[in-house]
Amino acid sequence: MDRSQISQILRAGGLFAPLSDDELAFLAARTSVRKFASGELLFSEGDRCKGFYLIASGRVRIFKTSANGREHVLAVEGPGSSIAELPVFDGGNYPASAVAADDSELLFISREDFRSMCLEHPEIALKVLQVVGARLRRLVGIIEELSFTTVRHRLIAWLLRRARTDGPTFTMDVNHQEIASQIGTVRELVSRNLARLQAQGLIAIEGRQITIADADGLQADLDSVV
């Protein structure tokens, strides 16, 4: 990847859109390209923050691990998304771990270069604040789901989100363990609840394909917890 390609990716990511071409070229010259194989760790929770990542291709899973080793997925980020903005600013360690969900190519900017660019261009810092604010809202939503809903309702919410994104029939691109990590439970409960939803005629499962057979019924079940 040459410097002009790096500049294009930086601008497309949104955070650096306010920069001029010369400024982007300056930043691109200080940006390194890092490749990660699927399953490879970017950083672990508690590691010292060395810098900021922008996803050029692939996906990155951000997660927390409990004392007993159980994993909870906070987000799965794709191309154009940024990672690890907060510790760049507050000087703390990485608050969660990140692993490549696919073979991925990421841009890396050191903490010092990123902070300097934000000091020179406050509008970048405001963009970062918007990203961090959106992440905070999403984390509050996760806390609410874990605190006030059952595994069944969290699974229904997950299915409806997928249906809104991919249509009423979609292929499961993750296994039951991955779903469990995303909704804060264990694989056995995901499998059991999927089977119950199918037995009730709310969904249909054929191999790795799921069809939302009764979206209104699922939504009514979800609304019953409000």
The model's pLDDT over 191-215, given as tens digits with 9 standing for 90+, comes to 999 999 999 999 999 999 999 999 9
Mean per-residue pLDDT of the chain? 87
Give ranges for CATH 2.60.120.10 in the chain.
3-147
CA–CA distances in Å: residue 156 to residues 58, 62, 87, 183: 27, 22, 33, 10
pLDDT number for residue 35 = 96
Give ranges for CATH 1.10.10.10 in the chain.
149-223
Q: Is the dihedral of CA 52, 44, 87, 140 positive or negative?
A: positive
The model's pLDDT over 11-58, given as tens digits with 9 standing for 90+, comes to 887 778 777 888 888 888 889 999 999 999 999 999 999 998 999 999
In angstroms, how far is CA 118 from the centroid of its own chain?
23
pLDDT number for residue 226 = 54
pTM: 0.65
pLDDT at 69 over 60: yes
In angstroms, how far is CA 147 from the centroid of its own chain?
21
Q: Long-range CB contacts (< 8 A, 24+ apart) of 29-32?
A: 29/3, 30/109, 30/110, 30/113, 31/6, 31/107, 31/108, 31/109, 32/107, 32/108
pLDDT number for residue 194 = 95
CA–CA distances in Å: residue 89 to residues 31, 65, 136: 18, 23, 15
Indicate left, alpha or beta for 89 from its phi (over 0: left) and psi (-120 to 50: alpha): alpha
CATH 2.60.120.10 fits 3-147, yes or no: yes
60: confidence class by pLDDT, cuts 50, 70, 90: very high
CATH 1.10.10.60 fits 149-223, yes or no: no
